[in-house]
Structure 1
């Protein structure tokens, strides 16, 4: 059985798309007869503090669903202060550096990027050991940081990040990109680099749609995920207008904006917005079965980024209200997955909500079945992994 190592800044029991994405990759490689090991930090995300089971420990070895998980020490933080965030990444990166330097590693290694500093350290050591480095890029940094205004263009931090970015692209054996835009960007820097599209498809193993439509209830729109700066859910709460509409907005998740959202919802006169906090993935999916529409917002259009929620909710059969721009917009439109609104255009969003409010539930029910069928055909994780294996990626 061939060995493969995955290096990631996130892994369950941590929550969020990044942890889920790496877990799905690990499990699928295991199912295809690879012996998989994951190196990641002690569990701390999204709260930015070590989970109780990892407190007071420097490293932990675990076996999760046949995956060997090696957790190394990290100084956890979700601070908005970029220096503190860098310190957090640097703490795990330093542990990773010495681990890779002094321990035997498989010939093939998947390195998740971002964080850039983490992937730089991994690629630096692994390239010296002549390993096959499979760089899995989910977002383009520092480009995304500039668009989110987390970095100032032409600053020292920006120029240093550009150096890290170019280094990891150059030294990697091949690139997996979560979007066509990512692949286009990599090839603009290194035209001959071998690149493959690897979408973040879910693996729910659902053969029949499980959603139920409650015809006598209001239309229930939901957001479930990280409540961070990039998603802009707090601003959504402030600017969405549900007055007089047959619509409720339900929010699930945790993150930097949680306290602001909780305060707003508890003090707001708008009784049509509900906050439910963070739920376990399985419990969340059970709760959502009687809901109607998923909303996917982004604070700004980020080049290269495609929210994994598009594929996850499509696989469950949810119509989507996509509010994020970019390649995600194209995917929603081309696959008839719901509605698209330009990023930050709350006027257009509120006009669309007025139209949705008048839709009969029977029409939404038809949409759910059509979307479920489409996603079963187009968003097939098993086919994608087997295709990449056949091409010699792993």
Structure 2
């Protein structure tokens, strides 16, 4: 049995795509007879506060489904203040260094990036000719931060580029969730070993029952993080509600602004449902006519994992984010495309979607595509050949 350590910033009971992705990876490796351990901070995302069950602890060690989980101290914060966010990352990096000094580390380690600084700390301390370091890149930093407006091209940005370069250089294998990410890595290190590792979900496909498309207004749903990158608050203000009723599930930094907008503008046909568990969400999502996947700005390298999750549910998608995600929607005919950042085009596309169009997308057909092309098990089998 091969020992393998996964280092990540996000893990259940935290919610969200990053947490789900690493959880499924850990579970999948365990089922393939790996002895899996996970190194992660005390749960704090997305609230920026340590969860009640873990408050007052400096660390926590537990075993769940034969996976050992080490939770380390972090100065938790989701503040917009860059200094506080830096302190939060540095605090976890400090905890990682302490752990590395006092614990035996397996010969194979998977390191999640971003956060860039946490990945750098792990690579710096663990690089060794006798150890295999696998860097799992879900977003390209600092490029993504530049496109989101979080960074400017200055000395700090140049330093982050050097950190990024260092991480790639010393990784033995790089996993990327998009071809854009892998192309970027190869532009810096043409001979570096890479593997396309999409964020495919791992859950049982629900039984398909006949669903009646709404009469009158179509019911469109968004489910996920209400953060700056998704731009759901701006979306709420820009949508034309003539043809749709907009339902929202999730939490994040824009939640309060969205609730205030709804309260002050009752004429907007928006319903906010709060946060629900993933299992509950899967049950309610299939009741809607379509879902929207928005990004405030097109982010190079980003492919929202919602695409693959919604395909597994057979839910038609309206994609509003550009980039590689747009190409996937078009290639597999999973829904509709609106030009990234163009709200007039978005409303035009929505106005042209008819009940008959949704019926033509056909839930069974979408699920069949997901099973054939977005299969977690097949992808994991291919990855394990690279890991061993």
Into which bin does the TM-score normalised by the smaller protein fall?
over 0.9
Shift of 1:129: 7.4
Shift of 1:267: 1.6
**Structure 2, unaligned runs of 5 or more:** none
Distance 1:202 1:211, change over 3 A: farther
Find the aligned partners of 1:130 and 1:268 in 2 and give their Cα distance.
61
2:136 is matched with 136
Do the aligned partners of 2:286 and 2:315 also contact (CA within 8 Å) in 1?
no
2:317 is matched with 320
CA RMSD of aligned residues (A): 1.5
Distance 1:52 1:211, change over 3 A: farther
Do the aligned partners of 1:36 and 1:67 also contact (CA within 8 Å) in 2?
yes
Find the aligned partners of 2:36 and 2:115 in 1 and give their Cα distance.
21
1:351 is matched with 348
Question: Cα deviations across residues 343-379 of structure 1 (Å, max 9, x unaligned)?
Answer: 11000111111112x3238x43653222111111100
Find the aligned partners of 2:251 and 2:318 in 1 and give their Cα distance.
21
1:236 is matched with 235
Question: Cα deviations across residues 234-253 of structure 1 (Å, max 9, x unaligned)?
Answer: 0000100113x2x2110011
Question: Cα deviations across residues 118-175 of structure 1 (Å, max 9, x unaligned)?
Answer: 000000111047421000000000000000010001x121011011100000011110
Do the aligned partners of 1:7 and 1:111 also contact (CA within 8 Å) in 2?
yes
2:10 is matched with 10
1:360 is matched with 356
Deviating more after overlay: 17-26 vs 200-209:
200-209
Query: Which of residues 258, 266, 275 in structure 1 aligns to 2:272?
Result: 275
Question: Cα deviations across residues 181-225 of structure 1 (Å, max 9, x unaligned)?
Answer: 000000111111100100010011216435733554742111111
1:39 is matched with 39
Indicate yes or no: 2:248 matched with 1:254.
no
1:393 is matched with 387
**Structure 1, unaligned runs of 5 or more:** none
1:330 is matched with 327
Find the aligned partners of 1:16 and 1:130 in 2 and give their Cα distance.
34
Do the aligned partners of 1:11 and 1:20 also contact (CA within 8 Å) in 2?
yes
Question: Cα deviations across residues 6-60 of structure 1 (Å, max 9, x unaligned)?
Answer: 0000001101111011001101101111111000000010011010001000001
Question: Cα deviations across residues 324-353 of structure 1 (Å, max 9, x unaligned)?
Answer: 100000011001110111111000111111
Question: Cα deviations across residues 78-137 of structure 1 (Å, max 9, x unaligned)?
Answer: 111111111111111110011112210111000000000000000011104742100000
Partner-residue secondary structure (3-state), 2:29:
helix
1:381 is matched with 376
Distance 1:388 1:96, change over 3 A: same
Find the aligned partners of 1:210 and 1:71 in 2 and give their Cα distance.
41
1:209 is matched with 208
Deviating more after overlay: 5-14 vs 92-101:
92-101
Find the aligned partners of 2:335 and 2:361 in 1 and give their Cα distance.
12
Distance 1:365 1:218, change over 3 A: farther
Find the aligned partners of 2:103 and 2:63 in 1 and give their Cα distance.
19
Find the aligned partners of 2:91 and 2:305 in 1 and give their Cα distance.
28
Equivalent pairs counted in the alignment come to 388
The normalised TM-score by structure 1 is: 0.95
Shift of 1:271: 4.2
Distance 1:150 1:48, change over 3 A: same
Q: What stretches of structure 1 move > 6 A for 4+ residues in a row? A: none
Distance 1:129 1:263, change over 3 A: farther
Partner-residue secondary structure (3-state), 2:362:
helix
Distance 1:79 1:129, change over 3 A: farther
Do the aligned partners of 2:316 and 2:361 also contact (CA within 8 Å) in 1?
no
Find the aligned partners of 1:31 and 1:365 in 2 and give their Cα distance.
38
Find the aligned partners of 1:327 and 1:52 in 2 and give their Cα distance.
39
Deviating more after overlay: 224-233 vs 277-286:
277-286
Do the aligned partners of 2:5 and 2:108 also contact (CA within 8 Å) in 1?
yes
Do the aligned partners of 1:202 and 1:311 also contact (CA within 8 Å) in 2?
yes
Question: Cα deviations across residues 369-393 of structure 1 (Å, max 9, x unaligned)?
Answer: 2211111110000000111212x32
Partner-residue secondary structure (3-state), 1:87:
helix
Find the aligned partners of 1:222 and 1:311 in 2 and give their Cα distance.
16
Do the aligned partners of 1:100 and 1:125 also contact (CA within 8 Å) in 2?
yes
Do the aligned partners of 1:297 and 1:324 also contact (CA within 8 Å) in 2?
yes
Deviating more after overlay: 341-350 vs 282-291:
282-291
Partner-residue secondary structure (3-state), 2:349:
helix
